[in-house]
Amino acid sequence: MSGRVILSLAIHNHQPVGNFSQVFEMAFRQAYLPMVEALERHPHIRLAMHYSGPLLDWLEGSQREFVPRVGALVARGQVELLSGGYYEPILAIIPDADKDGQIRMMTDYLKRRFHARATGLWLAERVWEPHLAKPLAAAGVEYLIVDDTHFTAAGVREEQLTGYFVTEEQGATVKVFPSRKRLRYLIPWQSPDDVLAYLRTFLSPDHGSRIPDPVLVMGDDGEKFGLWPGTFALCWEQGWVESFFRAIEAAGEWLVTMPPGEAAAMPAAGRAYLPTASYEEMMEWSGGFWRQFLVKYPEINTMYQRMLRTSRKVHALRAGSRRRRALVDLWAGECNCPYWHGVFGGIYLPHIRRATFGHLIAADVRAEQNRRVAGTIADLDGDGAPDVELVSPAMLLAVDPDEGGGVVEWHWREEHINLTNVVSRRPEAYHRQLLEPSPDVTASGAETIHTTRVRVKEPGLHRLLVYDRYRHASLLDHFLDPRVTMEAFAGGEYQELGDFVAGSYQPAVSRSRGGVAVSLTRDGSVGGEPRLPLRVEKRLALSVRTSTLRVTYRIHNPGDARVTARFGVETAWAVTDPQARLWIDDQPAPAREARARPGAHGVRLTDWGWRGAVLLRVPAAEVWVFPLETVSNSEAGFERIMQGVVCLCLWQIALDPHHTWEAILECELGIKG
């Protein structure tokens, strides 16, 4: 029979880059501060803590008295601090140079600020891939914490999951602790007595563990101790944490708390090779492999591929202050939160996406060696097909010829804003809960983020469950029946008469001393039966001297029959403040209201934080403007989120055989007044 059980707790505290200051403040008051106060009251409770870089930056600026209190816990050996990627990236997907740089940035900070030698690493979202062992070891990491899911997928039995295992890649080794899902679900949702009863089972000779003094690890989010729904009342007002710590102290004859760094000095439980994995819920959300988020959400892949290209440019800079500043922006743009979606907002949170793109654009601008225009045709999104990138001092455009020739990135470079940073409306598994609500089945009555209780922030959200048939981008080409209304178009209840909106265009880049342009051409068709041939050519031109994009459309009828059609050009704008205003000509309207106006010549858009407006000028057109809104789940419940604004400019065209219709659109950035 084992003489004692060792409980090794690791608490991970994190807020993403770009989160609202009031969220930082609430998390501090309801979770981070109470936990430190509890540890101060219970000096015999020893554990590990991890604070992510964005949170540390906020604490240093807003709660400077808190940092020395953590330092005092570290100095007396009660708290071990964990390193990690400073800006909490998914380490598996960022370049190796960034893995190393982010880990060393965090480790150096902890050494400088707390005089702590951090040998352990908090692996963001516990996303593990086997190749990680080598770069982690090279960065000075001795151990990390993953989930028991990783080990059971490798065939390790549950009763063997005590202590740590050693894994390697090309001879480079790291120690890996399994964090027990059972403990994650017990703490703090069940009573302290229930938690200790579970731990006591490891003293039984029938348990099957061959390890004396078994080490049981639980690594989980610090926000569950006060910030998640109902947990502030549970943990602090009702005293769950206080009771838990007292119960541990009272069980001192057989139960010991120990930071994982000390447990890592004990003998290993064995060797293991772990497959690609994360915690069980993440595996469900991703479809079994974390990188599938890059497939499920093309908007994430756009951001990811931008990060990779920016990283190459930044690392090519000569050493110096410019490179250091660019690296900080790059690494901030690698914060994991908008690169996935589960029960938390993730990619659906516009302010987080905006911050990520803002840092990536800032890093890209810093890494630029000159201010000339440039045009590139290359595979920019990893799908094996050519894409186009146009760059001027004012703008960067990324165009996907195989997706309707649409602009999927439109950087306002001076403002560090991606103007097309929107998310399309797509089905999520949890939407079924809005249509067929199920009762809460939590036995204890304590509400967790894993319960089936349907929480909504406003009634009627099921009416917003509209799903797009294509990715919203800018300069997409539609041919509509004259009877299609704005409401039908916005709700996806219409048919395309053409095959252009998601069709493939042929790109050709041209350069001149004054600018750069791409011509995108598609030979498609419109109508019913018989189909009538039609050619659409659009030319996007940037100038070295102005902040204007000039778009020239030529629609040519190569057939022998007359073509009449209602042609529309769609633009999508990252206007995400429901209180923002836009103007169709001189008529103002809230951005969250749908508006239609015939004979309009322009749309002017603004959003929070924009210094100036964006003005789209068009030949007299019927203009439809409507909000792009999604319904997503979060730890606090279902919520409506404004992802952007869609603008559709429509013209009725009639083309005799071998005739051409032409129009010029212009978009100018930074309009004042």
Q: Which residues are catalytic?
A: 125, 221
Closest CA relative to residue 333, chosen from 311, 354, 360, 313: 360
Give the sheet arrangement for strand 387-391, strand by strand.
Answer: 374-378, 387-391, 395-400, 406-412, 417-418
- Measured between alpha carbons, how far is 166 from 326 in angstroms, rounded to an integer? 36
> Helix 321-332 vs helix 96-114: angle between axes, to the nearest 10 degrees?
100
- According to DSSP, the residues that pair with 583 across neighbouring strands are 588, 604
- According to DSSP, the residues that pair with 656 across neighbouring strands are none
Interstrand relation of 515-526 and 532-543 (parallel, antiparallel or unpaired): antiparallel
How far is residue 428 CA from its own chain's centroid? Answer: 16
Residue 235 · residue 225 · CB < 8 Å: yes
- Measured between alpha carbons, how far is 91 from 136 in angstroms, rounded to an integer? 9
Establish whether the linkage from the previous residue to 558 is cis, with ω within 30° of 0. Answer: no
Q: Residue 162 contacts by C-beta under 8 Å, 6 or more apart in sequence? A: 202, 209, 211, 214, 215, 216, 269
Phi–psi pair at 75, nearest 5 degrees: -65, -30
- Measured between alpha carbons, how far is 31 from 12 in angstroms, rounded to an integer? 11
Closest CA relative to residue 189, chosen from 141, 124, 235, 253: 235
Sign (positive/negative) of CA torsion 72, 76, 78, 81? positive
Interstrand relation of 595-605 and 613-632 (parallel, antiparallel or unpaired): antiparallel
Closest CA relative to residue 363, chosen from 396, 328, 326: 326
How far is residue 227 CA from its own chain's centroid? Answer: 20
How far is residue 478 CA from its own chain's centroid? Answer: 30
- Measured between alpha carbons, how far is 347 from 328 in angstroms, rounded to an integer? 22
Q: Residue 613 contacts by C-beta under 8 Å, 6 or more apart in sequence? A: 604, 605, 606, 670, 671, 672
Residue 539 · residue 625 · CB < 8 Å: no
Residue 377 · residue 386 · CB < 8 Å: yes
